[in-house]
Amino acid sequence: MKRVSIYVRGKVQGVFFRASTVSAAQQIGVKGFVRNEPDGSVYIEAEGDVEKINELIAWCKIGPPRARVEAVEVESLATFMNFTDFSVSR
């Protein structure tokens, strides 16, 4: 099991990035949340099997069709939150 924080920078707000991340995370099988940040980035916290987390990170580097991802920063987090689903956080 692995828990990570992911910052996605670029043209990632107003392009359905959050909704697409929820769909991708649910298909992949990871739990957590996604939210827009005031600086225009998108912040994600996710936990799950290492392979599935890596799959979500790879997806974030591309994003939905209208997104233009410029950078993805990933940090491992020590404690688990035991999320029950993947959702948009406000």
Which domains are present in the chain? 2-80 (3.30.70.100)
Largest CA distance in the chain: 34
Is residue 36 part of the annotated active site? The answer reads yes
| Residue showing tokens 């948009």 | 88
Radius of gyration of the chain (CA): 12
| pTM exceeds 0.95 | yes
pLDDT digits (tens, 9 = 90+) for 16-75: 999 999 999 999 999 999 999 999 999 999 999 999 999 999 999 999 999 999 999 999
Please identify which of the residues 3, 9, 35, 36 carries the catalytic annotation: 36
Strands 86-88 vs 31-36: parallel, antiparallel or unpaired: parallel
Catalytic, out of 18, 66, 68, 90: 18
Q: Is 9 a catalytic residue?
A: no
